[in-house]
Amino acid sequence: MAAEEKRIALLIDADNAPAAKIEAILAEVARYGVANVRRAYGNWKSQSLKGWEAVLHEYAIRPMQQFAYSKGKNASDMALVIDAMDLLYARNLDGFAIVSSDADFTPLVMRLLTEGAKVYGFGEQKTPEPFVNACSKFTYLEALGQPAGTDAPADEAPATPPRSAGDLRGDTRLVRMLRRAVDAVAGDDGWSHLGAVGHQIGNQASFDSRNYGYRKLSDLIEASGLFELRRDNQIVWVRDKPKGKGAAKPAPAPVAAAPGKPRLKAK
């Protein structure tokens, strides 16, 4: 029997998100569950939201009208937060997808996480780090591929160019996160199953390899030059590279243990 699909509320801050990315956003949300609640917030009398008006019906997104009652105040943000809390307390959702580049939603994300809900954030690269880091997973819209209507389909080369090995190694937060994850799930021989590494990273912080220009975690790890990778059919193993000139030669790939027998350590 197939596992029940996760139910996700897609809440869009239309004032701070491009309509051209909606197809890619929905495709991404579909990886985590079904978006059975779809709402976009804004003052729909504003000319700046004409791009969103064109896609609302096509993608079954409900427009939530919010008038600008006071100049300089964002009623749309407040309405989104109120609806999110109402949906949370209804207890019929497993997660939230929040589309915005506005860091003002950071306290909302933290509150949702406290209640055990997953929060998937989507925003442009200008999104402040507090909002990015607060989410269970945050994906830059630039990393989701080409906007709708361009010549290149969305599933081709990512719009974000791959970061060089030097840039990756110079990102202290990224390197620390990768090394901690690899070390946390390593076996006695030092090798870690890549799937377990990815799961460990997901438990540590918001992370998406596409934000660095790499479609897969294995590609990013390999490009950093900091780790050794071994492939055993469809299984990928990873370990930290030995340091120093006198380091030992790389060990062979781990051998899966037979039932009831311990896995042999690499010599």
Domain assignment present for residue 264? The answer is no
H/E element, 182: helix 172-184
Q: Residue 263: CB partners within 8 Å, gap ≥ 6? A: 187, 188, 189, 254, 255, 256, 257
**49-61 per-residue burial string, b: 16 or more CB within 10 A, e: under 16:** beebeeebeeeeb
Domain span at 125: 7-144
Per-residue pLDDT tens digits for 87-143: 999 988 999 999 999 999 999 999 999 999 999 999 998 999 999 989 999 999 988
The answer to whether the CB of 83 falls within 8 A of the CB of 64 is yes
Q: Is the pLDDT of residue 261 over 80?
A: no
- CA dist 167 and 117 (Å) reads 33
Q: What is the pLDDT, as a whole number, of residue 66?
A: 77
Same domain (yes/no): 138, 192: no
Domain assignment present for residue 150? The answer is no
Same domain (yes/no): 216, 173: yes
The answer to whether the CB of 266 falls within 8 A of the CB of 254 is yes
Q: What is the pLDDT, as a whole number, of residue 207?
A: 80
Domain assignment present for residue 157? The answer is no
Same domain (yes/no): 113, 22: yes
DSSP labels for 161-181? PPPPHHHHHH-HHHHHHHHHH
Q: What is the pLDDT, as a whole number, of residue 126?
A: 92
Q: Residue 173: CB partners within 8 Å, gap ≥ 6? A: none
Same domain (yes/no): 17, 94: yes
Same domain (yes/no): 137, 203: no
Same domain (yes/no): 11, 74: yes
Structural domain count, the chain = 2
| Section 202-208 average pLDDT | 73
Same domain (yes/no): 130, 61: yes
Domain assignment present for residue 85? The answer is yes
**Most distant CA pair in the chain, distance:** 71
Domain assignment present for residue 249? The answer is no
180 CB neighbour count, 10 Å cutoff:
13
The answer to whether the CB of 75 falls within 8 A of the CB of 82 is no
**CATH number of domain containing 103:** 3.40.50.1010
Task: Tell which residue, 135, 141, 144, 143, has the closest CA to residue 202.
Answer: 135
Same domain (yes/no): 140, 178: no
- CA dist 249 and 231 (Å) reads 17
Domain assignment present for residue 261? The answer is no
pTM passes above 0.75:
no
Handedness of CA 234, 237, 238, 244 (dihedral sign): negative
Q: What is the pLDDT, as a whole number, of residue 75?
A: 77
Per-residue pLDDT tens digits for 18-29: 999 998 899 889
- Phi (first) and psi of residue 231, to 5 degrees: -115, 125
CA distances (Å), 92 to each of 36, 37, 84, 95, 167, in order?
11, 11, 12, 10, 43
**CATH number of domain containing 213:** 3.30.420.610
- Phi (first) and psi of residue 121, to 5 degrees: -100, 145
